[in-house]
A and B are shown apart, each in its own frame.
Chain A
Amino acid sequence: MTEMRKEDTVKLISAEGFEFVINKEAAMVSQTIRNMLTSPGSFAEAQHGEVTFPEISTTILEKICQYFHWSLQYASGKETEFPIEPELTLELMMAANYLHT
């Protein structure tokens, strides 16, 4: 993976405590996360940008991070398919609803 600056990343933490460090731009595909990162006034850890999702399992959160990156690529012209395993569908949809993605 290419070297990413701390300021450009945000850490998403799953229910089980698994940490995903991803690009901020990717994370902001989620309107909810975007709102949090761009709120007026500052958050205590505006510098660190850590968000915990006690409702979202590691598997789903991982899939969601993949979705963020896929979404950015799709928007920039790379029109590929996003594979979703059928057993993940329901949970994924609920998480997407929650994250406003």
Chain B
Amino acid sequence: VFLFCFIVFPWFGMDIGGTLVKLVYFEPKDITAEEEQEEVENLKSIRKYLISNVAYGSTGIRDVHLELKDLTICGRKGNLHFIRFPTQDMSVFLQMGRDKHFSSLHTTLCATGGGAYKFEPDFRMMADLQLQKLDELDCLIKGVIYIDSVGFNGHSECYYFENPTDPEHCQKIPCNLGNPYPLLLVNIGSGVSILAVYSKDNYKRVTGTSLGGGTFLGLCCLLTGCTTFEEALEMASHGDSTKVDKLVRDIYGGDYDRFRLPGWAVASSFGNMISKEKRETVSKEDLARATLVTITNNIGSITRMCAVNENINRVVFVGNFLRINTLSMKLLAYALDYWSKGQLKALFLEHEGYFGAVGALLELLDSA
């Protein structure tokens, strides 16, 4: 029996965040000769443009390593592609949409994230496109559950770090979310949202913090003169935050036994920088590292409190702050394990920041 999906191609899902636009594109691989014949020129050109490139313009990137192959969605077989570009380049994207006559395809463009609201008039005016706006948290949860269920090309989507408190033996271990509820979902984008998820359609936003990925990058740019996330992370990986931060042992000479605080714990982030001499001796790399550690630990700390308050012991971290950021992931795994005395487990997902966009795509298909 052939299940036919009535949603016309192309199938897109879009998540327009404060810093990055995330786009997922489903490329059908089961196009019949007949369909090929009927496929309009504009659609063909868009498909070819997307598939044959890994970079678009100067800033658009296709994360080829994340591509999901031979996926069956809505009865169609194909590959799911993951593309991102900075939100500030939105006008370039819209220009391209107009040049490629996207509006002639009469497709619905499902979008989520703040930008779906902010840029809606631009989509209409610049590209003659009508956006279907979707709630970002609904999409996020939908995307997480879906991707985890289909897996990552035969591998697990989910993983955790074994022995997080032992750097020598700390390693990435794949796992399945399975029946994950209740679950604390921490989305670290420019800012942070923390959700308690009780079932696939029962969740609440517990809290959020403005100290997120945007803060890390923003502060790094001001402190080191770097301009990109990649650059900032590269610097951080070579730095030493203990030159910048004041540790418990800097004050007490060792552990602070009265409160059972280990000497290596940070007492005051950037606390050493109140001294002129120390400000003069730290490197940009040290500052980048300290910024990363400060932001990451703070997220870990708020997350842990939320987990305790909500009585949930499984935590999944997502969001583009974690992209190529093993340093932060290990820190989060460590912090959660150490301060909860092993009660809390930090889980991570391979498709870090794309779940909102995936959710938007699924909403499109559900609407059929």
User: Are A and B associated in one complex?
Assistant: no
